[in-house]
A and B are shown apart, each in its own frame.
Chain A
C-alpha cells in the first residue's frame, strides 16, 4: 500500500477507482505522513483530519456507487491564502491567525466538485510576500531535500508537502513566481496558468493584477488533472475570462517534433549558478533529442521586470491590505487610545516586517507627485515587456530558461537582504507582468542534492502546450520520480 499512498495524483485516483484502497485508508495514511513530517518541515498551518476523513468517506461512497467525479477521494492541500469554508485561512499572518472564511474560493469549489479531499492548509510567506517562506507568522517551512534550506516561496508549504509526498497535489498562488520558484527549489512541477483562466474569487489579494492561482504536483499530467478542475469562468471575478471549457490534457501525448524553443540571451547571462546553467543545458539537449529546435530570441526589456514588479506589486498590496484595519475582523490591538492609535497598533502588531516594507513602498510610489514617475512608468514598461514576448512568439512556440538563478539557499542566508531575496524571482516575474502562463519542471540536482527547475513559458492560453512539453520531457527523464529522503 505504501507505494500507492505516495503515488502521483493520477496513480492514486486510478488506485481508488480500482478499489486498490479506499479514500479513508489513503487519507489516514497521508494524515499520518503529514503529522510525522510537520515537526521537520512545518508545511501545514492547519490540518483538518476530521473533515478530511468525512470527505474521504463520502468519496468512498461515491466510488462505490460508481458515479464518482474524476479526482474522487484524492487528498490535496490548499495554500493558506485561499479561502476554505469553515477552515481557517491565515495567510501566514498574525493579522488573520484566527480568521475562518464563510465561503470557498472558486478553485477550492472546483476541486471539491472534482471529488478531492481537503487535508489541510499549507504554510506560506505572510500574505504571499516572500521567496523563501521565512516570513510566515507560523515559522519557516523547510525544504524536504535538506531541512536546513528554504523551500522557496511564497507557496513553500504546498511545495514542500508535494515534494515530501504528503499530498499528491496542492494549490498555490503565483504573483511573481510564488509557485514556480518553490516548485524548482523542491523538485516538483508548478504551473501558473494565464491570468484570468482560474478565478481569483476567494484568494486573499496581494497584487490583484498579478495574483494567479495555480498548482503543484509531481507530473505534468497531474497538473493537467488539477487545472481541469480549477479553470473556468466566474462571474464573481471581473477579471475572470469567459472562454469555452477546454481539456488541458488533450495535447499531453503530442510529439515535440518541430517545437521551436526560444532561448532569450537575457536568461542565460551572468548571475546564474553554474550548476543550474549546466542542468538547463542538459534539459535543452533532451528536448532537442525529442525533436525540438532552439532559436535565439531577444527580450530587450525583460531585465526591467524586477523593478517594475517591485513598484506595481507593493502599490496594489498597500491598497489591498488596507482592509486589515482591526475594525471588522482580524487582529485588533488590545489597548489603544483612539481610532488612529487602534489602526496603528493593530497593523503594527498584525503585520510582519516584509509586509510592512511592501506597504511602505507601495504607499510611497502611489503618493501624490510620485505616481507618474513610479506607478505610471512601471505600467508603461510592463506593456513594453509584454510587447517583447509577443515579438518573440513570432519566432518560437515556448521560451525556456532556468526557473531560479540558483538552487535553494540556507534558512536565514538572505533574510536580511531583501534585494538578494527579490533576485530569486528574476526569471519568473515577467510572466506575471504579461499574464501569460509558465511552468517549472524538475530537471536535475546540484552537487548538494538540491533540485533544479527549468522554466517553460508560453503565450496566452498555451497551458495545454506547456503541459505537453513537460509531459514529453518527463517521459524520457526521471527527475520528477526522485523523492527526498523521508524526513520523519
Chain B
C-alpha cells in the first residue's frame, strides 16, 4: 500500500555567508580558532555595546536573491528572537522575522521521477549564529565558545515542494552548488557552513497536508537521504498502525540510522519576536541591487542552456557540468585551449571533464582548483585523440601520466616518451595483418566458416602485435578486405 502514500518535504537551510567579519561585529569568522578568541564585545553581549550591520552580509543576500529570481525587499526588518541559552549571550538572536530581505524565488532541479521541476522558495533571511556549547570537554561543566556567535547566516526556506528523499537531496545539492556558484558560502558541510533541516510529512494522495516533523542535524546529503527515508517509513507505519504523527523536532542519529524526538510542539518556546530597536530597518537602494547584479556570474541555468544550444552538449552533460562552477569553468578553458569549438570536440571535452578528470579528482579528494592537470594540458591530450595520433585507450595512460606530473604534463612529450603514437599507416597495418593471417590459419578457417567471434579474435591478435598502437578502425577495415 506504500504507493498510495505521498511524501511532502520542505527544507530549511542555513548557509554561512563568506564574509571576513561577523554580521554585527568586527570579529573574524575564520573556522577553527582557539575558543573565544574571535569574540568581540558585541559577540559576548557586553552591556552597552550595539550591533552594526555588516554590508557584506547584505550584499551576499542580494546576490542569492538575484540568483534564485526572488524579490529583494527594499525594506526589511531585523527582529529579536528571545530565549535563554548559555551560548546565546544576549538572550536573543537577531534574525529577520516578519519582513525578510529575500522573498520568493525558486531552485530548478532534476527529479528522478518528475524530470525538470522548480522548487519554490518561501524566503531567505539574514540572521546571526549562536555560539557553541562544549559538553564533553569539561567534567561536570559545559564550556562556551563564542567564536561562532554572530557569524552571518542566510536561512533559506523552501516551500514543501519535494515529494521524495531523492528530490530533497537533489534540491539540497543544487542549492549547495548555487551558493558556492555565486560566491556567498564556502559550502563546507563538515565545518557547518551549509546545514539543512527537513520538514517531512506524509499523506494519502489527494488529502490535505499531514502533520510534519522537523528533522535536524542533517550535515551530509547521505544523512539527509537516510533520515528522510527513515522518517517517512516511521510516519507511514505509525499512521497505518492507527497512530497519529505528533508535530515535533527530531534529531537524526547517523550511527543508529534513525530519527528520535528532541522536543514536541508543546515544549515550543514563545520567542517574543519584536523589531530590534538597535537596528533601523534595512533599506536597499535600487542602485545597490544594480551594482550587485552587474557583478553576478552567469547563472547555472542560463549557462546550461547556452552549453546545450551553442556547444551542442546534451542536457545530461550540461546539467552535470553546471552543478559545479569550477568544473564548468575548467570545461570552458579546455574548450578554448582546444581551439576547435565544434559539437564533436565539445562533447569530447565534456566526456573527459565529467569522466576521467572528475573521477581522478574524486579519487584524490581534490577540488578543481587543486587539480594537477590544467585545462590547457588536458586540451593538449584531447587534441591528439581528435587528430587520431593516439587511441582512446592510450589517451588514458597519457592522462594518468599527466596527472602524475610527468614531462610537465605535456601530452605530446608523454606520447613521444611512451611511444604511444597510433599506427594509421595502412601499409604498416596491412603488413601486420598479413603476418597474423599467416600465423593463424585455423582462426581464418573459422572466420570463413561464418563465425563472427573468430573475426574479433583476429582483430585482437593484430592489436596485440601492434602493441595496441594500430588504429582499430583501420585494422577492422583491412582485415575485412583481406579476408574476402
Seen from chain A, the residues whose Cβ lies within 8 Å of a Cβ on chain B are 82-83, 89, 91, 96, 99, 101-103, 105, 200-205, 207-209, 235-239, 315-316, 318-319, 321-325, 327-329, 339, 343, 363, 366-368, 371, 375
Scoring B residues 5 to 49 as 1 if CB is less than 8 Å from chain A, else 0, what string do you get?
000000000000000000000000000000000000100111111
* 10 A-B pairs with the lowest CB-CB distances in the bound complex, closest first: A322-B91, A366-B272, A209-B277, A208-B277, A323-B45, A204-B47, A202-B48, A83-B48, A368-B270, A327-B86
Q: Which residues of A contact B277 (CB under 8 A)?
A: 207-209, 239, 316
- A238→B144 contact, CB < 8 A: no
Bound-complex Cα distance A386 to B320 (A): 59
Residues 41-69 of B contacting A (Cβ, < 8 Å):
41, 44-53
- Nearest to B90 among chain A residues (CB) is A323
Contact of B92 among A91, A319, A367 (CB under 8 A): A319
Bound-complex Cα distance A209 to B41 (A): 21
Q: Which residues of B contact A200 (CB under 8 A)?
A: 50
Q: Which residues of A contact B469 (CB under 8 A)?
A: none
Bound-complex Cα distance A339 to B274 (A): 26
- Nearest to B45 among chain A residues (CB) is A323
Contact of A235 among B41, B52, B80, B86 (CB under 8 A): B52
Bound-complex Cα distance A208 to B80 (A): 13
Scoring B residues 278 to 291 as 1 if CB is less than 8 Å from chain A, else 0, what string do you get?
11100000000000
**Could you tell me the distance in whole angstroms from the C-beta of A127 to the nearest C-beta in chain B?**
10
Bound-complex Cα distance A368 to B277 (A): 19
| Interface contacts beyond A238-B280, A318-B272: sample of 8 additional A-B pairs, CB < 8 Å, sorted by A | A96-B47, A105-B48, A200-B50, A208-B276, A238-B278, A318-B82, A322-B82, A322-B92
Scoring B residues 243 to 285 as 1 if CB is less than 8 Å from chain A, else 0, what string do you get?
0000000000000000000000000001011101111100000
**Could you tell me the distance in whole angstroms from the C-beta of A248 to the nearest C-beta in chain B?**
24
Bound-complex Cα distance A416 to B91 (A): 30
- B44→A328 contact, CB < 8 A: yes
- Nearest to A104 among chain B residues (CB) is B48
Bound-complex Cα distance A47 to B274 (A): 39
Q: Which of A207, A321, A366 has the most CB of B within 10 A?
A: A366
Bound-complex Cα distance A363 to B274 (A): 11
Seen from chain B, the residues whose Cβ lies within 8 Å of a Cβ on chain A are 41, 44-53, 80, 82, 84, 86, 89-92, 144, 270, 272-274, 276-280
A315-B274 in contact given A103-B41, A323-B89, A323-B90 (Cβ < 8 Å): yes
**Could you tell me the distance in whole angstroms from the C-beta of B265 to the nearest C-beta in chain A?**
13
Bound-complex Cα distance A203 to B44 (A): 16
A366-B52 in contact given A96-B47, A323-B90, A325-B91 (Cβ < 8 Å): no
Contact of A238 among B50, B80, B273 (CB under 8 A): B50
**Could you tell me the distance in whole angstroms from the C-beta of A444 to the nearest C-beta in chain B?**
37
Q: Which residues of A contact B278 (CB under 8 A)?
A: 205, 208, 238-239
Bound-complex Cα distance A236 to B276 (A): 16
A204-B48 in contact given A319-B272, A368-B270 (Cβ < 8 Å): yes
**Could you tell me the distance in whole angstroms from the C-beta of A214 to the nearest C-beta in chain B?**
16
- A367→B89 contact, CB < 8 A: no
A319-B89 in contact given A200-B50, A236-B50 (Cβ < 8 Å): no
- B47→A238 contact, CB < 8 A: no
Q: Which residues of B contact A239 (CB under 8 A)?
A: 50, 277-278, 280
Q: Which residues of B contact A363 (CB under 8 A)?
A: 272
Q: Which of B41, B47, B89 has the most CB of A within 10 A?
A: B47
Bound-complex Cα distance A438 to B249 (A): 51
- Nearest to B269 among chain A residues (CB) is A368
Q: Which residues of B contact A203 (CB under 8 A)?
A: 48
Q: Which of B52, B90, B91, B92 has the most CB of A within 10 A?
A: B91
13 contacts between A and B (CB under 8 A): A83-B47, A96-B47, A200-B50, A202-B48, A208-B277, A239-B278, A319-B80, A319-B91, A323-B45, A328-B89, A367-B270, A368-B270, A368-B272
Q: Which residues of B contact A91 (CB under 8 A)?
A: 47
**Could you tell me the distance in whole angstroms from the C-beta of A374 to the nearest C-beta in chain B?**
10
Bound-complex Cα distance A200 to B51 (A): 11
- B47→A101 contact, CB < 8 A: yes
Q: Which residues of B contact A89 (CB under 8 A)?
A: 47-48
Contact of B144 among A315, A327, A367, A371 (CB under 8 A): A327
Contact of B49 among A82, A201, A208, A325 (CB under 8 A): A201
A238-B51 in contact given A208-B277, A339-B86, A343-B84 (Cβ < 8 Å): yes
Q: Which residues of A contact B89 (CB under 8 A)?
A: 323, 327-328
Q: Which residues of A contact B50 (CB under 8 A)?
A: 200-201, 236-239
- Nearest to A312 among chain B residues (CB) is B277
Contact of B47 among A207, A323, A343, A366 (CB under 8 A): A323
Bound-complex Cα distance A203 to B92 (A): 18
A328-B45 in contact given A236-B52, A239-B278, A367-B272 (Cβ < 8 Å): yes
- A205→B92 contact, CB < 8 A: no
Contact of B274 among A204, A205, A366 (CB under 8 A): A366
Q: Which residues of A contact B91 (CB under 8 A)?
A: 319, 321-323, 325
**Could you tell me the distance in whole angstroms from the C-beta of B247 to the nearest C-beta in chain A?**
16
- Nearest to B142 among chain A residues (CB) is A339
- B274→A371 contact, CB < 8 A: yes
**Could you tell me the distance in whole angstroms from the C-beta of A232 to the nearest C-beta in chain B?**
15
Q: Which residues of B contact A375 (CB under 8 A)?
A: 274
- Nearest to A371 among chain B residues (CB) is B274
Bound-complex Cα distance A465 to B255 (A): 72
Q: Which residues of B contact A323 (CB under 8 A)?
A: 45, 47, 89-91
Q: Which residues of A contact B279 (CB under 8 A)?
A: 238
Q: Which residues of B contact A322 (CB under 8 A)?
A: 82, 84, 90-92
Q: Which residues of A contact B82 (CB under 8 A)?
A: 318-319, 322, 366
**Could you tell me the distance in whole angstroms from the C-beta of A332 to the nearest C-beta in chain B?**
12
Q: Which residues of B contact A99 (CB under 8 A)?
A: 47
Q: Which residues of A contact B44 (CB under 8 A)?
A: 328
Q: Which residues of B contact A208 (CB under 8 A)?
A: 276-278
**Could you tell me the distance in whole angstroms from the C-beta of A435 to the nearest C-beta in chain B?**
12
Bound-complex Cα distance A96 to B47 (A): 10
**Could you tell me the distance in whole angstroms from the C-beta of B52 to the nearest C-beta in chain A?**
5
**Could you tell me the distance in whole angstroms from the C-beta of A460 to the nearest C-beta in chain B?**
16
- Nearest to A237 among chain B residues (CB) is B50
Bound-complex Cα distance A384 to B84 (A): 34
Q: Which residues of B contact A316 (CB under 8 A)?
A: 274, 277
Q: Which residues of B contact A83 (CB under 8 A)?
A: 47-48
Q: Which residues of A contact B52 (CB under 8 A)?
A: 235-238
Bound-complex Cα distance A236 to B47 (A): 14
- Nearest to B26 among chain A residues (CB) is A236
Q: Which residues of B contact A329 (CB under 8 A)?
A: 46
**Could you tell me the distance in whole angstroms from the C-beta of A395 to the nearest C-beta in chain B?**
30
Q: Which residues of A contact B90 (CB under 8 A)?
A: 322-323
- Nearest to B41 among chain A residues (CB) is A103
**Could you tell me the distance in whole angstroms from the C-beta of A99 to the nearest C-beta in chain B?**
7
Bound-complex Cα distance A343 to B88 (A): 13
Q: Which residues of A contact B45 (CB under 8 A)?
A: 323, 328
Bound-complex Cα distance A260 to B86 (A): 55
Bound-complex Cα distance A159 to B369 (A): 67
**Could you tell me the distance in whole angstroms from the C-beta of A89 to the nearest C-beta in chain B?**
8
Q: Which residues of B contact A209 (CB under 8 A)?
A: 277
Q: Which of A82, A91, A202, A322 has the most CB of B within 10 A?
A: A322
- B48→A205 contact, CB < 8 A: yes
**Could you tell me the distance in whole angstroms from the C-beta of B226 to the nearest C-beta in chain A?**
32
Bound-complex Cα distance A48 to B181 (A): 58
**Could you tell me the distance in whole angstroms from the C-beta of B95 to the nearest C-beta in chain A?**
13
- Nearest to A364 among chain B residues (CB) is B272
- Nearest to B276 among chain A residues (CB) is A208
Bound-complex Cα distance A402 to B51 (A): 37
**Could you tell me the distance in whole angstroms from the C-beta of B2 to the nearest C-beta in chain A?**
38
- Nearest to A327 among chain B residues (CB) is B86
- Nearest to B278 among chain A residues (CB) is A208
- Nearest to A209 among chain B residues (CB) is B277
**Could you tell me the distance in whole angstroms from the C-beta of B137 to the nearest C-beta in chain A?**
17
Q: Which residues of B contact A101 (CB under 8 A)?
A: 46-48
Q: Which residues of A contact B48 (CB under 8 A)?
A: 82-83, 89, 101, 103, 105, 201-205
